[in-house]
Chain A
Amino acid sequence: MPNLEHPAYPADTLLHLESLMPCRESQVSMLLSIFGERQQFSFPSIFIYGHTSSGKTYVMQTLLNTLQLPHVFVNCVEYFTSRLLLEEILIQLQSCSSETEQTSHVPCDNFNDFVRLFKQAVVSRKLQDQTLYIVLDRAEQLREMEANILPAFLRLQELTDRNVTVVLLSEIVWELFRPNTGCFEPLTLYFPDYSIGHLQKILSQNHPPEYSADFYAAYINILLGVFYMVCRDLKELQHLAVLNFSKYCEPVVRGEANERDTRKLWKNIEPHLKKAMQTVYLREISSSQWERLQHDDGEPGQLKGLSAHTHVELPYYSKFLLIAAYLASYNPVRTDKRFFLKHHGKIRKTNFLKKHEKQTICYRVGAKNRTEGITKERTVNEGNSNKCNVTKINGQKTSNHLLGPKPFPLDRLLAILYSIVDNRVAPTANIFSQITSLVTLQLLSVVGHNDQLDGPRYKCTVSLDFIRAIARTVNFDIIKYLYDFL
């Protein structure tokens, strides 16, 4: 195992660092060598990226704290406007070096002010002789602020002419940040995902005081065996480990098995963990409910998860409105006559094929022939003669359910509604207000601008299963009315 080496810091500090941040030795040593000694200028901006919970924030925080480097740590999600962000940096700067009373808050509206105030702050806090680190966590939020913020942060050293380094932490790659106008390229550093071995090592590091490290490590091994396939998030795994540990210990506590009896313990915990994967991990039932269940030794079957409650009770006409909206969203307009007109006659399915569908088929045949080197006239002839066959082959049109819902005007919705409801429906204000309330319930969505008063257009956003459940309650066979299932 390579030990960390750095001339500026004593060996025991480095050892301590290493024990705090297992499995991140190479990244830490890389960072240390970039940082250099306290008074040395460092690289103006560093961009660190890596997947969720690959230790970016943790490494930066522990590194800066243990080495007692002057730093400012800001989460960009929390300070969602540029003004808040800049002010927060200044506030932290004021309080970081000296523990004096909070000086009055200075408004800082733009980056120009920030640079000015930043210089003042650095001078007044006597930070010129060492590098100041500004860490911006969740830096992808910076892209949503004013266009100048990100480039300016990257060049902060140059702009302020002070010894400062900006570190950006993000989950996405630098290429997605780069502005069109170009900017100073930061030094990028990648934090790879923890491997299963790493996870095992990190998780078993914090064992409970009552039990031995080996016992806990064995538990973690079982846990990873179950969960590693679905979840590699360290935090989540840690949480799950703590939640289920008491169940694992149960046989030991009752005296049925000793700590070495791994097989027995495994038999006890494995089904339990599988159940946990289907419930707690998906947040179907909450972790506190899970703990209570464990405590009472109840069956998780008694507690219904969130997705068990899919049934939505709707007023009678709302159901029909929703059905009508679904039909309007997934049926082509030209088929309305077939479905809703009383005497539509017998129209075969093939007659419904759209014109352009036929055209594309022709083109496809043509293209195929052309590659075979046949003259143009012949391709047309052949295309026509082949049409019948090809339509049969390509007869299954692209399913509207694969394409998603299409917008429809209000009038079409109402026309379908009046024809699918058995008794006469008066177009009262109640019907219209139901459409609006369906929109607020997110079962329909308005397409286009909200202030378009005449001819609003809607889309139906519910799934086929949902609408079938609804249709069943009003005895309406929706499949018979859907073009895709004809």
Chain B
Amino acid sequence: MSTCSVSKGCFVFKPSPKKRKLSQKTANYFGERNNASEDTDLRFVTCQSLWNQIKSETEQIQEDLNKQLFDNLVSFLRRSHSEFQEKTTKWTCRMKSREIPTAALVLGVNVTDHDLTFRSLSEVLQNNITPYIALLEAKDCPGIKNLIQKLMGQLMNCYIDVDSLEDEDHVQVSQNRIRCSMTSIISWYQNVTKKTDSETRSKKRTSSSRHWQSPPVVVIFKDMESFTTKVLQDFIVISSQHIRELPLVLIFGIATSPMIIHSLLPHSVSSLLCIELFQSLSCKEHLSTIIDKLLLTAQFPFKLGEKVLQVLINIFLYHDFSVQNFIKGFQLCIVEHFYSQPLSVLCCPLVDAKKRVNSLSRDQCENIRRLPSFRRYVENQVSEKQILLLTADNFLKEITQKLLEDLHVYHENYVSVLRCLHVFTSSLPKYPLGKQIRELHCACLENQVWQTEEYESFLQLARMLNKSDLVTMLEQCVEIFVSSSGKEFDKIVEKLKEFLTQFQELEVAEAFQERDGSVSAQKELQKKTDLYHLQKTLLELKESRRSRKLTKFEMLRFEVVEYIDSLVRAHLVPADHKTLHEIVYFNTASVLRGHLNAAPRVALHTSLNNPYCYLKNQALKNDGGNISNKAPDICIVYKLHLECGRLINLVDWLEAFSTVVTAVEGPNADATSSDQRLDFVAGVLAAWKELNCRILNQHQQKQRHYSSHIFQWNYCQKSDLKVS
């Protein structure tokens, strides 16, 4: 594992999958902090199984989402070299210049997700089209030579993998390693196809029947943007000369826009390509699906609190657009929850949870009693029951079971009602409660949604809906409730259906009535030709319309909105109003933020300002602003410099430093030997050097001053840069 370059970045080393022994260790970590009575092992196991479930679910989702794209690509690849397969000698084929079939695959800017997509893509291609696939990355190919080398390595290795190792091939490979050029690739290809050809003829067609006799060679450029123009051009020019012998297909992985092809390749080169565009699903839609399938479902017992979800979504929308990172964050939440919350043993499917409640230990019962939501619950009970709850473990367990069941039911209802509400809000103008269901979800989790202004405006808008919209929405709601598994929905469905039939009845009656009314009004208008009278009648009409009784439709609409409102009030109670929500909800956003939002400059500042924070040395623990002389030199120097303004005088700085360092020895250490003095100067110099190369800039004009241009944000605040 090498990072290949000295660059400013964080490198993440994923552990290799072979270290499976690790799980035992992690189990130990789980128990490290808490005592053994809190079911650490069980928690760990639950956590693992839950995560595995979620992981397989996400993989499934990913597969489904990519299916369309991959199908298109596969059919493109099948089509692309059909001429090569048929070996036609028609006039058009003879005369037309052979272009290299190229798929421009636009994947979006979330580069971190691309790896996974390419891996599954190459898997799909391997299963359907061809065993010869090469994945190229820009950092491996600074020159055309490296590119061809890499290409040959991958192609020939994959060949060896497909057929079992043969000595002959080894010889061939080692020989080819010396000469890496297109000709050797071609000769290799001819060898390989000839061999499989004869094999299929002699033996029965088994594995290779999936592929054609001469399967195309697919070269995937993972990050098109980073490739240098020259390398790409050369490669395309070379391979276009051999396209008749080597059926090559290129796939360009593009992160930004397909325009990049035109800016990278001149017309003389791009005219050698036959480019088709393929677009993957946008990452925002991807995220919505993930949230829909992972969070807005009663399938998984684990839930995210509002703040945590907000943190994760913010990182996604504001920073990286990476679905992988979102899932990683979600995983972190799960682990953190099971690690820090002893009661998370109960965060499992309801049936198991009930069993586990029975076997809870004393300590765990105490833990339940300590939960704030449970205390609130106890306070609302009658006094005898309160005593029982606080003293009798068995009674507590019984109640806990009941409460857990309540919580489960609440979740089931919550999801359906939320979707139903989303049907209404998403079609209103200006989207009062957010366009996406995740925004609505966050709003509902945050506090009682019906108390917000947005909800008010939603109700007002909903009361102005026209009939056809209302009917379709109601139909959608019925569908949602019918398809969901909740138990209490029969009544709701019945009620909604009743509304629908009422609307239908209205249709007939109202149409008749309306025609009648309008006709009479018009008649009156026609009768009076006088301007004055006309004005008068118009005013009257207006007046009557204002004070008119609501029509039947309006009454009904009002009723529907009222009903939806009542549903929302009943079922979309924020989770933290529910008893025992701490068991399934992870809500410590600060921890998550600390883990995911690394702030290097802040960390640097803290470490220099308060070394105790990282060194954990008791001697460094100081309170208030005084500077301890035990601190490392660099911290002292830094703090002294902070006390001054923008510029600091060199002599003052040295003086101050010496006072701080010699503070404890004080008056009795006046006889400092010259050696110590040298040490001291060396210390200061070293500290300077450290600070200099990291943060300080030497001021050019005044050589004896060091300016504090360090953290630019600091400087920014000082000079009050704000939006004008």
Specify which chain A residues have a CB less than 8 angstroms from the CB of B599 in the assembled complex: 426-429
CA distance in complex: A142, B108 (Å):
40
Does A160 touch B at the CB level, under 8 Å? no
Q: Please encode chain B, from 431 to 448, with 1 for each CB lying within 8 Å of some chain A CB and 0 for all others.
A: 000000000000000000
Contacts A75-B241, A288-B276, A434-B319 given; does A440 touch B720 at CB 8 Å: no
* B274-289 interface (Cβ within 8 A of A): 274-277, 279, 282-284
Specify which chain B residues have a CB less than 8 angstroms from the CB of A130 in the assembled complex: none
Distance in Å: Cβ of A202 to nearest Cβ of chain B: 12
Interface contact A453-B723, CB-CB below 8 Å: no
Does A420 touch B at the CB level, under 8 Å? yes
CA distance in complex: A206, B95 (Å):
8
Specify which chain B residues have a CB less than 8 angstroms from the CB of A288 in the assembled complex: 79-80, 101, 274, 276
Interface contact A317-B319, CB-CB below 8 Å: yes
Does A21 touch B at the CB level, under 8 Å? no
CA distance in complex: A451, B99 (Å):
40
- A236, A312, A420: most-surrounded residue (chain B CB, <10 A): A312
Interface contact B724-A341, CB-CB below 8 Å: yes
- Among B225, B601, B712, which residue has its beta carbon within 8 angstroms of that of A441? B225
CA distance in complex: A433, B597 (Å):
11
Distance in Å: Cβ of B692 to nearest Cβ of chain A: 10
Specify which chain A residues have a CB less than 8 angstroms from the CB of B7 in the assembled complex: 436, 450-451
* A279-322 interface (Cβ within 8 A of B): 282-283, 286-289, 304, 306-307, 309-318
Contacts A283-B271, A310-B259, A312-B109 given; does A243 touch B723 at CB 8 Å: no
Does B179 touch A at the CB level, under 8 Å? yes
Contacts A80-B144, A442-B256, A450-B7 given; does A238 touch B602 at CB 8 Å: no
Interface contact B104-A437, CB-CB below 8 Å: no
CA distance in complex: A112, B175 (Å):
24
CA distance in complex: A318, B103 (Å):
27
Specify which chain B residues have a CB less than 8 angstroms from the CB of A453 in the assembled complex: 6, 8
Contacts A314-B109, A341-B721 given; does A428 touch B275 at CB 8 Å: no
Specify which chain B residues have a CB less than 8 angstroms from the CB of A318 in the assembled complex: 109, 319
Interface contact A309-B721, CB-CB below 8 Å: no
CA distance in complex: A87, B175 (Å):
14
Does B722 touch A at the CB level, under 8 Å? yes
Interface contact B321-A315, CB-CB below 8 Å: yes
- Among B181, B261, B284, which residue has its beta carbon within 8 angstroms of that of A79? B181
Specify which chain A residues have a CB less than 8 angstroms from the CB of B259 in the assembled complex: 306-307, 309-310
Specify which chain B residues have a CB less than 8 angstroms from the CB of A101 in the assembled complex: none
Interface contact A209-B91, CB-CB below 8 Å: yes
Does A81 touch B at the CB level, under 8 Å? yes
* B669-724 interface (Cβ within 8 A of A): 693-694, 709, 711-713, 715-716, 719-724
Does B10 touch A at the CB level, under 8 Å? yes
Interface contact A307-B262, CB-CB below 8 Å: yes
CA distance in complex: A453, B262 (Å):
33
Stretch in A115-123, A257-265, A384-392, A411-419 with 4+ CB within 8 Å of B: A411-419
CA distance in complex: A217, B223 (Å):
45
Specify which chain B residues have a CB less than 8 angstroms from the CB of A88 in the assembled complex: 181, 183
Does B255 touch A at the CB level, under 8 Å? yes
Quick one: closest A residue to B258, CB to CB? A306
Specify which chain A residues have a CB less than 8 angstroms from the CB of B91 in the assembled complex: 208-210
Q: Please encode chain B, from 1 to 29, with 1 for each CB lying within 8 Å of some chain A CB and 0 for all others.
A: 00001111110000000000000000000
Does B35 touch A at the CB level, under 8 Å? no
Interface contact A422-B723, CB-CB below 8 Å: yes
Does B182 touch A at the CB level, under 8 Å? yes
Specify which chain A residues have a CB less than 8 angstroms from the CB of B508 in the assembled complex: none
Does A78 touch B at the CB level, under 8 Å? yes
- B96, B144, B145, B270: most-surrounded residue (chain A CB, <10 A): B96
Interface contact B97-A235, CB-CB below 8 Å: yes
Interface contact A433-B271, CB-CB below 8 Å: no
* B140-157 interface (Cβ within 8 A of A): 144-145
Specify which chain B residues have a CB less than 8 angstroms from the CB of A441 in the assembled complex: 109, 111, 225, 255-256
* A211-241 interface (Cβ within 8 A of B): 233, 235-236, 238-239, 241
Interface contact B598-A283, CB-CB below 8 Å: no
Interface contact B274-A430, CB-CB below 8 Å: no
Interface contact B262-A313, CB-CB below 8 Å: no
Quick one: closest B residue to A413, CB to CB? B712
Q: Please encode chain B, from 240 to 281, with 1 for each CB lying within 8 Å of some chain A CB and 0 for all others.
A: 010000000000000111111110000110110111110100
Specify which chain B residues have a CB less than 8 angstroms from the CB of A105 in the assembled complex: 175, 178-179
Specify which chain B residues have a CB less than 8 angstroms from the CB of A245 in the assembled complex: 92
Interface contact A313-B716, CB-CB below 8 Å: no
Interface contact B262-A342, CB-CB below 8 Å: no
Specify which chain B residues have a CB less than 8 angstroms from the CB of A283 in the assembled complex: 262, 267, 270-271, 273, 275
Interface contact A242-B92, CB-CB below 8 Å: yes
Interface contact A239-B723, CB-CB below 8 Å: no
Specify which chain B residues have a CB less than 8 angstroms from the CB of A313 in the assembled complex: 108-109, 282-284, 321
Specify which chain A residues have a CB less than 8 angstroms from the CB of B381 in the assembled complex: none
Does A13 touch B at the CB level, under 8 Å? no
Specify which chain B residues have a CB less than 8 angstroms from the CB of A84 in the assembled complex: 179, 181
Does B234 touch A at the CB level, under 8 Å? yes
Does B238 touch A at the CB level, under 8 Å? yes
- Among A282, A309, A430, A436, which residue has its beta carbon within 8 angstroms of that of B9? A436
Does B315 touch A at the CB level, under 8 Å? yes
Does A107 touch B at the CB level, under 8 Å? yes
Distance in Å: Cβ of A310 to nearest Cβ of chain B: 5
CA distance in complex: A206, B259 (Å):
36
Specify which chain B residues have a CB less than 8 angstroms from the CB of A209 in the assembled complex: 91
Specify which chain A residues have a CB less than 8 angstroms from the CB of B282 in the assembled complex: 313
Quick one: closest B residue to A339, CB to CB? B724
CA distance in complex: A209, B90 (Å):
10
Interface contact B9-A433, CB-CB below 8 Å: yes
Distance in Å: Cβ of A465 to nearest Cβ of chain B: 11
Interface contact B225-A442, CB-CB below 8 Å: yes
Distance in Å: Cβ of B79 to nearest Cβ of chain A: 7
Does B226 touch A at the CB level, under 8 Å? yes
- Among B101, B256, B277, B598, which residue has its beta carbon within 8 angstroms of that of A312? B256
Specify which chain A residues have a CB less than 8 angstroms from the CB of B601 in the assembled complex: 427
Q: Please encode chain A, from 168 to 212, with 1 for each CB lying within 8 Å of some chain B CB and 0 for all others.
A: 000000000000000000000000000000000000001011100
Specify which chain B residues have a CB less than 8 angstroms from the CB of A420 in the assembled complex: 723
Does B106 touch A at the CB level, under 8 Å? yes
Does A161 touch B at the CB level, under 8 Å? no
Interface contact A309-B277, CB-CB below 8 Å: yes
Does A52 touch B at the CB level, under 8 Å? yes
CA distance in complex: A312, B255 (Å):
9
Q: Please encode chain B, from 559 to 585, with 1 for each CB lying within 8 Å of some chain A CB and 0 for all others.
A: 000000000000000000000000000
Quick one: closest B residue to A241, CB to CB? B95
Does A478 touch B at the CB level, under 8 Å? no
CA distance in complex: A81, B712 (Å):
48
Quick one: closest A residue to B187, CB to CB? A102
Q: What are 28 A-B interface contacts by the 8 Å CB criterion?
A: A78-B238, A107-B178, A238-B95, A245-B92, A282-B267, A283-B262, A283-B267, A288-B101, A288-B274, A289-B276, A309-B257, A312-B256, A314-B109, A316-B319, A339-B724, A342-B724, A411-B712, A415-B712, A415-B716, A419-B721, A426-B597, A427-B600, A430-B319, A430-B597, A441-B109, A443-B256, A451-B6, A454-B694
Given A245-B92, A246-B92, output 14 extra A-B contacts at Cβ < 8 Å: A238-B95, A286-B276, A288-B101, A288-B274, A306-B262, A309-B277, A313-B284, A340-B724, A342-B720, A342-B723, A344-B724, A415-B712, A422-B723, A430-B319
Residues of A within 8 A of B (CB): 52, 75, 77-81, 84, 87-88, 105, 107, 206, 208-210, 233, 235-236, 238-239, 241-243, 245-246, 282-283, 286-289, 304, 306-307, 309-318, 339-342, 344, 411, 414-415, 418-420, 422, 426-434, 436-437, 440-443, 450-451, 453-454, 456
Residues of B within 8 A of A (CB): 5-10, 79-80, 91-92, 95-97, 99, 101-102, 104, 106, 108-109, 111, 144-145, 175, 178-179, 181-183, 223, 225-226, 234, 237-238, 241, 255-262, 267-268, 270-271, 273-277, 279, 282-284, 315-321, 597-602, 693-694, 709, 711-713, 715-716, 719-724
